[in-house]
Amino acid sequence: MNETISTLLSRRSIRKYTDQKVSQEDLDLILECGLYAASGGNHQVARFTVIEDPDVLEALNTLVRSEFRKMEPDGNLYWNTAIRSSRNNPNYDFSFHAPVLILATAPAGWPNGMADCAGALQNIQVAAASLGLGACWVNQLHWLTENHALRTYLESLGISHQEEIYGSVVIGHPQLPPPKAPIRKENRITFIRS
């Protein structure tokens, strides 16, 4: 099987990491793959903030946990899981203790911001998997993109209030081999042919 196809089919979201750091060489290559993702009109507005400092990662996790604990679950919103987890688990860590967190941002209101950042983060996850690393998309910072406390802290890290957080990925060395993929749900493809 083609190596690219094999990586795409075998990549899994990893939620348990070792303490081993990601090499600068691997991280540079992964980020380059993110920069080469397709972007609307080739505007290349997606920007990455790479956090490896354990103190900053812990401060960010503490802030996220605190802000989610202030929220009430609302209907069937996807992020209710994060709200409940932050309340029920004193060790809740949205980054799964990974040594690297990459935030993808684009100018607030940019019409293609979500698509551009999503494509870049997907490239980042596939590149990480191809190097034997684990990665997982984490949306908590996106869900809190308008949260004043979070934005104030992120501004101290160089992320402007004029940027929207469209997603984040954590990267590290997996503690365990990737799990087997669950069976794909049926009836998700429709062909319209002549």
Q: What sign has the CA pseudo-torsion 181, 12, 105, 119?
A: negative
Residue type, 96: F
In this prediction the pTM is 0.93
Residue type, 84: R
pLDDT tens across 122-158, in order? 999 999 999 999 999 999 999 999 999 999 999 999 9
* Third-level CATH fold of 21-172: NADH Oxidase (3.40.109)
By C-alpha distance, which of 41, 33, 154, 141 is closest to 95? Answer: 141
pLDDT of residue 79: 76
The residues near 153 (Cβ < 8 Å, ≥ 6 apart) are 59, 60, 63
Confidence band of 76 (pLDDT split at 50, 70, 90): confident
Distance in angstroms (rounded) separating the CA atoms of residues 86 and 101: 19
pLDDT tens across 7-24, in order? 998 899 999 999 999 999
pLDDT tens across 56-67, in order? 999 999 999 999
- Is 167 within 8 Å of 118 (Cβ atoms)? yes
